[in-house]
């Protein structure tokens, strides 16, 4: 079926054969709907609303998401594609979108996840008015609760040292540097300079968007390398950690610094999260996200009086972004002394 709009031909396929009376009737019905919407000012110029479903699925939307998934290789795009595929219905009209949101809620998807999915669909269907008119209200996250106090930090590290000995060096280092997850997981021994008391962050092991536990090498988030200082306690911990890895015949020249206890391969977020939450539960502390390691380090470093510009360089952020995101109460208030 061919539709001519603004001097350009548009094709709506998958209607059936021309000699099929049912397919011809469907084409006439779609033509009448397009003509009516055009005269009433409600025409969808992308024609997405008028394209028929195949086995109940919007193949045009699925194909657009699949192409975006292959291009971006991001977990959020992959999740959106798989969610829309499972939904298996149209997401063209406001009624469709409302039903889609209700369907996601019934399956326990968080409001933030629903919002991300809708945003990803909008990116491949920017002229879908129904999608732009519907917004999911996402509860505001109290990021102040992400920051552990000094006492809580000490409690967690003591617990990890006693109960999660293999992972203790990883979390001690994490709490002392505030690296991003992918930077910590991708840290290699050739980037560790113990004599200089610093580590070079120039690469990451980021998540492959198409597989949960598969990771691929990439650059830092900003695309730039940076030097992160480490204190003498961390230097000594890393020396001991290296000795232990050498006893296990691990590569301590260019291999990964932190590895899994069984396979001796790279760590992954879900495994680290299990260890982290186990420790918090044992101590009776509020459950925090894994990313609170970074929030905690940078918030305490700011509270100790470090220059925001210096910390921004260490964290790989702009100064204003660092202050907006990580300047959280830590309980460390230095009172003036007259």
Q: pLDDT, tens digit, for every residue of 219-272?
A: 998 889 999 999 999 999 999 999 999 999 999 999 999 999 999 999 988 899
Q: Which residue has the tokens 């079926």?
A: 1
The token pair that represents 133 in the structure block = 């008119």
Q: Is residue 146 part of a domain?
A: no
Say whether both 100 and 214 belong to one domain. no
- 72 & 37 share domain: no
How far, CA to CA in Å, does 313 sit from each of 164, 202, 322?
32, 13, 10
Residue 210, pLDDT > 90, answer: no
Q: Say if residue 178 is in the same domain as residue 219.
A: yes
For the segment 165-171, the average pLDDT, to the nearest whole number, is 97
The pLDDT confidence band at residue 56, using thresholds 50, 70 and 90, is very low
Q: Given this model, what pLDDT does residue 125 score?
A: 85
Q: At what angle do helices 111-124 and 75-87 cross, to 10 degrees?
A: 90
Q: Is 327 within the bounds of a domain?
A: no
Distance from C-alpha of 69 to C-alpha of 81, rounded to nearest angstrom:
8
CA distance 275 to 164: 7
The number of domains in the chain is 3
Q: Are residues 233 and 272 in the same domain?
A: yes
Q: Is residue 129 part of a domain?
A: yes
Residue 60 has pLDDT above 80, yes or no: no
Q: Are residues 165 and 267 in the same domain?
A: yes
326 is a domain residue: no
Tell me the whole-structure pTM to 2 decimals.
0.67
Q: Which residue has the higher pLDDT, 167 or 129?
A: 167
Tokens 């420790």 correspond to 279
Residue where a domain stops, chosen among 264, 286, 308: 286
**Residues 282, 185 within the same domain:** yes
Give me the helix-helix angle, 94-106 and 75-87, nearest 10°: 100
Q: Do 218 and 253 belong together in one domain? A: yes
Domain boundary among 75, 107, 140: 140
Q: Which of 121-125, 131-135, 163-167, 323-327 has the highest mean pLDDT?
A: 163-167
Q: Tell me, yes or no, whether 38 and 67 share the same domain.
A: no
Largest CA distance in the chain: 94
In whole angstroms, what is the distance from residue 30 CA to residue 36 CA? 10
Residue 291 included in any domain: no
> What pLDDT sits at residue 53?
47
Between the two ends of the chain, the Cα-to-Cα distance in Å is 83
Does 187 lie in the same domain as 268? yes
Residues 102 and 156 in one domain: no
Same domain, 100 and 111: yes
Q: Who has greater pLDDT, 115 or 145?
A: 115
Domain range for 81 is 53-140
CA atoms of 44 and 42, how far apart (whole Å): 6
Identify whether 46 is part of a domain. yes
Q: Which residue has the higher pLDDT, 272 or 19?
A: 272
CA dist., res. 313 & res. 25, Å (int) = 65
CATH, residue 211: 1.10.443.10
Q: How many CA atoms lie within 13 A of 176 on its CB side?
A: 21
- Of 24-33, 179-188, 201-210, 225-234, the poorest mean pLDDT is in 24-33
DSSP-assigned letters across all residues of 271-299? HHHHHHHHHHHHHTPPP--TTHHHHHHHH
Domain boundary among 18, 37, 52: 52
> What mean pLDDT, rounded, does the chain reach?
83
Residue 178, in any domain of the structure: yes
- Backbone dihedral region for residue 272 (phi beyond 0: left; psi -120 to 50: alpha; all else: beta): alpha
């Amino acid at each position: 079926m061919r539709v001519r709009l603004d001097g350009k031909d548009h094709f709506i396929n998958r209607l059936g054969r021309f000699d099929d009376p049912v397919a011809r009737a469907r084409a006439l019905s779609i033509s009448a709907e397009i003509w009516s919407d055009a005269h009433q000012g409600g025409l969808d110029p992308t024609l997405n609303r008028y394209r028929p479903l195949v086995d109940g699925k919007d193949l045009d939307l699925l194909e657009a998401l699949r192409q975006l998934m292959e291009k971006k290789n991001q977990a959020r795009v992959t999740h959106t594609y798989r969610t829309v595929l499972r939904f298996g219905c149209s997401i063209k009209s406001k009624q469709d979108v409302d039903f889609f949101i209700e369907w996601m809620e019934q399956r326990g998807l968080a409001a933030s996840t629903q919002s991300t999915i809708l945003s990803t669909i909008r990116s491949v269907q920017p002229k879908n008015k129904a999608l732009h008119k519907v917004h999911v209200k996402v509860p505001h996250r109290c990021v102040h609760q992400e920051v552990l106090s000094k006492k809580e930090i000490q409690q967690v590290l003591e617990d990890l040292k006693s109960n999660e000995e293999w992972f203790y060096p990883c979390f001690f280092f994490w709490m002392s540097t505030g690296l991003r997850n992918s930077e910590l997981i991708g840290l290699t021994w050739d980037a560790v300079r113990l004599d200089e008391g610093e580590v070079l962050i120039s690469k990451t092991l980021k998540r492959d968007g198409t597989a949960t536990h598969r990771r691929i090498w990439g650059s830092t988030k900003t695309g730039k390398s940076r030097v992160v200082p480490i204190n003498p306690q961390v230097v000594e911990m890393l020396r001991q950690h290296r000795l232990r890895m050498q006893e296990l015949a691990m590569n301590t020249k260019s291999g990964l610094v932190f590895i899994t206890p069984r396979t001796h391969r790279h760590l992954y977020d879900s495994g680290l999260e299990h260890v982290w939450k186990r420790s918090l539960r044992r101590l009776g502390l509020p459950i925090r996200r894994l990313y609170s390691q970074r929030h905690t380090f940078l918030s305490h470093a700011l509270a100790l009086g470090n220059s925001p510009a210096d910390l921004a360089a260490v964290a790989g952020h702009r100064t204003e972004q660092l202050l907006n995101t990580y300047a959280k109460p830590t309980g460390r208030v230095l009172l003036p002394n007259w």
